[in-house]
Amino acid sequence: MNEKWRGRIAGAAAGLANGLFGGGGGMVFIPVMSRSSLKKQTLYATCVGVIFPICAVSAAVYFLRAELSLKTALPYLLGGLAGGFLGGRLYGKISVKWLKRLFAVFLFYGAVRYLL
C-alpha cells in the first residue's frame, strides 16, 4: 500500500475515533506516522498539527447537534490552552524516552478511569 493511501486510511480511522470517543486520533496517527522518515520531535508536532483540524470538525458537529456545552467546556479550554502553550515550550527539552513514558502513564490512567 502506498504512503498516500496509508495516510488517508489512518486519517479516516483517527477522525472516526475522534468523532466517536471525543479523542484518540493520536493513538492512530503516532504508530502509522512513526514509519515515516520524520524525527521523533517533528513526528509528534506533525501529529498535533493533523489532529487539531480533526478535533475542530468533531467539535463543530457536536456543536451543530446541540451536544456541546460551551459553558462547561470553557474552563477546560482555557486550561488546555495554557497547558498546550507550556507543553509546546517544553517540547524538545524533555527526552523522547520520558515523553513516551509520560504518555503511557496518561493512557493507562485514562483507561482505568474509563473502565471504572
- Final residue of a domain: which of 36, 51, 68? 68
CA 78, CA 46: separation in Å to the nearest integer?
23
Residues 59, 4 within the same domain: yes
pTM: predicted TM-score of the whole model, two decimal places: 0.65
**Which helix (H) or strand (E) covers residue 9, if one does?**
helix 3-21
Q: Structurally, how many domains does the chain consist of? A: 2
Rounded Cα distance between 57 and 42, Å, is: 24
Of the pLDDT bands very low, low, confident and very high (cuts 50, 70, 90), residue 9 is confident
In this structure, the answer to whether residues 61 and 8 fall within a common structural domain is yes
Taking only the tens place, the pLDDT of each residue in 38-87 is 887 788 788 888 888 888 888 888 889 988 888 888 888 899 899 989 98
Q: Comparing 42 with 101, which gets the higher pLDDT?
A: 101
- Residues 53, 86, single domain; the answer is no
Q: Residues 92-112: what's their mean pLDDT?
A: 86
Q: Reply yes or no on whether the pLDDT at 1 is more than 70.
A: no
| Enclosing domain of residue 113 | 70-116
Residues 114, 92 share a domain: yes
Same domain, 58 and 6: yes
CA distance 91 to 14: 23
**pLDDT value of residue 105:** 92
Same domain (yes/no): 113, 75: yes
Same domain (yes/no): 75, 104: yes
Provide mean pLDDT across the span 13-39: 79
